[in-house]
Amino acid sequence: MGRVAHGLIARSLLRRNLAPPHFSSSSAAAVAAQRTVPIASSCGTASDVATCPRPRWRLFSLPVAPSRSVSVGLAGALSFSLTLVTTAGAKEPPSPELIPKDVVLYQYEACPFCNKVKAFLDYHDVPYKVVEVNPLSKKEIKWSDYKKVPILVVDGEQLIESSDIVKKLSQRFHPENSVVDEEETKWLRWVDDHLVHMLSPNIYRTTSEALESFDYIAKHGNFSMTERFTVKYAGAAIMYMVSKKLKKKYNITDERTALYEAAQTWTTALDGRDFLGGSKPNLADLAVFGVLRPIRHLKAGKDMVENTKIGEWYQRMEIAVGESSRIAA
C-alpha cells in the first residue's frame, strides 16, 4: 500500500483536480493506465495496508460456576495462567541508560514498513511520538532529503529504511548480542523480499476489498476533508488495477493461495517453537508481525487466520508486543 498507493494518489491530485470517480472496472482501468507502477524493492516502498488493531487478550472463556468459591478458584487459575503466558513473552525494554530521550516516527499509519518499526519499538517499550505524513504534500518531511517513510529521528539523528532502523536500534539496545544469526537473517530478508509482495494483491483483490482498505487509509491518514473523499475512491480504483499488475509482476496465480502459502511457510519455519526466537520473539518475529498487523482485521487478514495455522503465533505476538508505547506528540 504505502509508497505505491500514496505516491500514485499524490501525483494524480497534484497534477490536476480529481473528481471522485465512479468505481467501475472501466474507469479504474482508465485511471491506472495513465500511470507507471513503482515496484517495491526496499523498505518504505511497498504498498500500505490498512488496520492496526489493538492487542486482544481473549485467551480463555470462564465457564459458569455453581458457587462463589469455585468462581474465585477459576478466576485465580485464569489469572495465574495469564501471568505465566504474559511473563514468558513479556516486553523486553533495554537498560534505562540505553533508551533514547526523544524518538519521533514519521509515518503513514497503514504502511507495513512503518508498522514493522512500531512493532520493534512497542516490544522494547521505547516511548515514541508519531507524525502522520500527508502523502500528497509531504510537508511534514520537507526538512529531510529522504522522501519516503518510515523516517525515525532518534535524539536528533535521522534513521531511514525500516530494516536498517531496526538493525541499528537492536545493536544499540543489545550491544552484547549484535550479530544476527543465519536463520534470523534469512527470515528478515524473506519479509522484505517476499511477504510484503503478497499484501497488495490481496487487500486490493476486489473492488470491495480495495474500498475497505482505502476507507481505513482515508480515515486515519493525514488528509483534509476534501482529500479524504477523493483519496478513498480514486485510491481504491487505482490500487485495484495496480494490484493486478503486481500480481503479474510476482507471478501470483491466486492471491489468497499465495497469502496462505506465505503464512504456512512462516508457521513451518517455527518448527513447533512459540516464536522463531524460541521462548521470546526475535527480530524476524517482530518483522513478520509488524508487516501483517495492518491487515489483520481486513478481509484478507481474517481469511488468512481462518485458513492457516498462523493465528496462534499471531496471538502470542500480540501478547508479547503488548500495548503501544506511543506517546502524545
- Which residues, listed in sequence order, are joined to residue 294 by a DSSP beta bridge? none
Instruction: Give me the catalytic one of 43, 114, 233, 289.
Output: 114
* Active-site option among 113, 204, 260, 275: 113
Cell of 308: 492457516
Q: What does the block give as the cell for 318?
A: 500480540
Task: Return d(Cα 126, Cα 100) in angstroms, integer.
Answer: 8
Distance, in Å, from the CA atom of 305 to the CA atom of 172, rounded to the nearest integer, reads 34
Residue 131: beta bridge partners?
A: 106
Torsion over CA: 170, 174, 178, 180 (sign): negative
Cα separation, 86 vs 188, whole angstroms: 25
User: Of 247, 292, 299, which Cα lies nearest the Cα of 265?
Assistant: 292
CB 326 within 8 A of CB 126: no
Decide if 43 is catalytic.
no
Cell numbers that stand for 217 in this block = 487509509
Spot the catalytic one: 43, 106, 108, 314: 108
Could you confirm whether 52 is annotated as catalytic?
Answer: no
**229 is a catalytic site residue:** no
User: 21 near 232, Cβ under 8 Å?
Assistant: no
Q: Are strands 151-154 and 129-132 parallel, antiparallel or unpaired?
A: unpaired
Selecting among 52, 111, 214, 216, the annotated active-site residue is: 111
Which residues are designated catalytic? Answer: 108, 111, 113-114
